Amino acid sequence: SYELTQPLSVSVALGQTARITCGGYKIGNRNVHWYQQKPGQAPLLVIYRDTNRPSGIPERFSGSNSGDAATLTISRAHVGDEGDYYCQVWDSSAVFGGGTKLTVL
């Protein structure tokens, strides 16, 4: 079965750029989707099909995908961006990465 690997945690200084990676074998050949989950809340879609933002998601959120890694980039990080981030692909069923906890310092 297909596996996705994410770092357990990423820290970023306030106002700087955070990058969260999602590794998988030839993941660049797949579509990757990203979810944000704040404590006590349901996941929220922030990027779909590698680079697309749903309506209401700030332009500070962007995505890329190539080779063996997809990346979620959060520019000008806010304290409000703190939470867990999950990548997901579809492989006859949903496959999720283990999640990355983002801390804004």
Partner 1 sequence: EVLLLEAGGGFVQPGGSLRLSCVASGFNIRNYVMSWVRQAPGKGLEWVSSLSGSTGSPTYVASVKGRFTISRDDSTNTLYLQMNTLRVEDTAIYYCAKHLIAGSTNWFDPWGQGTLVTVSS
Between 14 and 63, whose beta carbon lies closer to partner 1?
Answer: 63
User: How far is it, in rounded angstroms, from Cα 36 to Cα 45?
Assistant: 6
Q: Is 2 in the site for partner 1 (CB under 8 A)?
A: no
Q: Is 28 in the site for partner 1 (CB under 8 A)?
A: no
DSSP secondary structure letter of residue 77: -
Q: Is 95 in the site for partner 1 (CB under 8 A)?
A: yes
Q: Is 61 in the site for partner 1 (CB under 8 A)?
A: no
Q: Is 85 in the site for partner 1 (CB under 8 A)?
A: no
Residue among 5, 21, 23, 44 that touches partner 1 (CB under 8 A): 44
* 42-81: burial string, b at 16+ Cβ within 10 Å, e else: ebeebbbebeebeeebeeebbbebeeebbbbebeebeeeb
Q: Is 36 in the site for partner 1 (CB under 8 A)?
A: no
Return residues touching partner 1 (CB under 8 A): 30-31, 33, 35, 41-45, 48-49, 54, 86, 88-90, 93-99
